[in-house]
Amino acid sequence: MADKYQVIIVGGGPVGMGLAIELGLRGISCALTERRTEPHRIPKGQNLMQRTLDHFYCWGIVDEVRAARVMPNGYPIGGITTYGDLTSVHWYKPQQREAVKDYFFQANERLPQYCVEDVMRKKIATMPNIEVFLGWRAMEVSQDEAQAEVTISQENGNDQKKLNADYVVGSDGARSIVRESIGIKRSGSDFDQKMMLGVFRSKELHEGLKHFPEVSTYRAMFPEAKGYWHFFGRIDVGEGWFFHAPVPLDTTAKNYDFKALLHKAAGFEFECEFDYVGFWDLQVAVAESYQVGRIFIAGDAAHSHPPYGGFGVNNGLEDARNLGWKLAATLQGWGGENLLSSYSEERHLIFKETGEDFIAARIEREGEFFDTYDPEKDLDAFTHAWEKKKIGTSKMATAYEPHYEGSSVIDGPADGVSSAKGEHKFEARTGHHLAPLTLSSGKNVFEEIGNDFCLIGLDGDDDVIDDIQSSANRLQIPLKVICDNQNGQRDSYATRYILVRPDHYIVWKSDTAPQNIEKLLSKVAGR
């Protein structure tokens, strides 16, 4: 007889573990399967956005994540871009995620993905409703009207198990067996370009780049590379590095001079010792849907792309946060039939735009730039365009503001459209994430809000607040209420009442009571 859970999660990387933690904290029984017994010690997924650290705060692990950082505390996260190698006189340091720090509770962070995974594994080990199968691979996934089933097999053995659950989520990477089992196709941009990832140690490189003090990443742009990056990133401050660069399609670990490639990008020779050389294909791929019946996909199983800008792990963890509370609400009986379908509705469009507009289009634009401008042919034209490029790169950080204005489970504007692009504002807007506010008590609203629906009343009418609370109770929708009668707080959010859902996106706001409270609450709960 198969073991029975409420949710089976296939893939125990950061996305799968994030979903397990989200569900576990909500009292949902989970099975988490992962073929690796230990995290892959390759420095990827390092650029963690503020929103991701907000997730870690809600999961109770933000201090542990920050303590796991490899770089010295306070060491800047940003980087520089050069025309040509890293000795070039043409370089800039764009404004990055620090430009939007005021709109999030937590500051962004930089550390290797495996350090985050170590923290998440320790958290999961403390949660009795999560059963972990390390060293087990998913072999088959199926479903019927009543349940879903996953057959798992020992990676280094002959044992097999059948696991049953109400729902299955595949967070098992770009080659997802879960996605393949439910027949979801992918589309996107294939650049037909092979990229290498090298992990190496070099104190000489550290010494050679001291003319760029306290920089974490170095992006060398060569005209012949057609917009593809030669990218150095620090693992630590001293000798640990990783490096991305385009290479010929027939490149192997043995037939290419990788040291020469490093030296070309740096602009000088230095001693180095490689710990790892691997390859990946430069492409942006997005699944056509994130759900079929009782089976969902998340993270790289749903969307994969080059490691440009940190969009992969951050979007994957946003998938986990979005899907987690919706699964829990459905299993607990207060989430309606439209709630689970809203996961694919919301997240698919966001990443489709992210992949196309923030990744693929950027590669194409940068290729066009280097085809057009050359400082040796026309220095004035190049200098002018280079400055505009710096400004444009800085604007990307502020333009990336995923929101769900057009979601079917948000009371947004009539003409609202969900998008990865937006404008960061402090004021409360339906479909957008809540900005952090210090309450008159001295605490931040994120310290009080909790992980259920929350009604924030700022200089609000007690009768209105009581009516909303009573309606939520009748509908059995968990609702916390925060009241603050200081006008300054009301002015900051530019509204009196704000209804926030469990992942801290605003589903309704107004200066007056809703016309039909139960209709509103039913809509945002997917009923």
- Cβ neighbourhood burial of 266 (10 Å; 0-12, 13-18, 19+): buried
| Residues 20-70: tens digit of each pLDDT | 999 999 999 999 999 999 998 888 888 899 999 999 999 999 999 999 999
Q: Specify the residue for token string 């609202």.
A: 416
In angstroms, the CA 303 to CA 519 distance is 34
Rg of the chain over CA atoms, in angstroms? Answer: 24
Long-range contacts: 251-256, Cβ < 8 Å, 24+? 251/194, 251/196, 251/279, 253/277, 253/278, 256/196
In angstroms, the CA 72 to CA 45 distance is 18
Per-residue CA distances from 99 to 30, 274, 408, 437, 465 (Å)? 38, 35, 31, 18, 35
pLDDT of the residue at 304: 85
b (16+ CB within 10 A) / e for 327-364: bbbbbeebbbebbbbbbbbbbbbbbbbbbbbbbbebbe
- C-alpha dihedral (387, 393, 394, 395), degrees to nearest 10: 110
HEC secondary structure over 54-80:
HHHHHCCCHHHHHHCCCCCCCCCCCEE
The contacts of residue 99 (CB under 8 Å, 6+ apart) are: 394, 397, 398
Query: Which residue, among 250, 245, 280, has the nearest Cα to 264 in the 3D structure?
Result: 245
In angstroms, the CA 497 to CA 15 distance is 33
Residues of the chain with pLDDT under 50: 1
- C-alpha dihedral (165, 25, 11, 50), degrees to nearest 10: 140
Query: Which residue, among 353, 218, 358, 359, has the nearest Cα to 282 in the 3D structure?
Result: 359
The verdict on pTM exceeding 0.85 is yes
In angstroms, the CA 225 to CA 258 distance is 16
Hey, what amino acid is at 465?
A: I
pLDDT of the residue at 2: 62
Q: Specify the residue for token string 């994030």.
A: 18
Q: Are 426 and 490 in contact (CB under 8 A)?
A: no
pLDDT of the residue at 192: 83
In angstroms, the CA 456 to CA 494 distance is 12
> CB count, 10 Å around CB of 257?
9
Query: Which residue, among 147, 115, 183, has the nearest Cα to 331 in the 3D structure?
Result: 147
Q: Are 356 and 187 in contact (CB under 8 A)?
A: no
Query: Which residue, among 226, 178, 237, has the nearest Cα to 203 in the 3D structure?
Result: 237
Q: Specify the residue for token string 């040509």.
A: 84
Reading the block at residue 342, the tokens are: 């809203």
Q: Are 453 and 435 in contact (CB under 8 A)?
A: no
The single-letter DSSP state of residue 324 is: H
In angstroms, the CA 406 to CA 306 distance is 28
pLDDT of the residue at 157: 83
For residue 464, the SS3 value is: helix
Query: Which residue, among 518, 180, 200, 224, has the nearest Cα to 371 in the 3D structure?
Result: 224
Per-residue CA distances from 177 to 138, 142, 182, 192, 379 (Å)? 7, 11, 9, 24, 52
b (16+ CB within 10 A) / e for 489-522: bbebbebbbbbbbbbbbbbbbbeebbeebbebbb
Per-residue CA distances from 331 to 5, 51, 327, 335, 348 (Å)? 11, 26, 6, 8, 23
In angstroms, the CA 270 to CA 170 distance is 43
The structural domains of the chain, ordered by start, are 3-71+109-186+289-354 (3.50.50.60), 425-524 (3.40.30.120)
In angstroms, the CA 193 to CA 498 distance is 47
Per-residue CA distances from 278 to 119, 231, 275 (Å)? 25, 15, 10
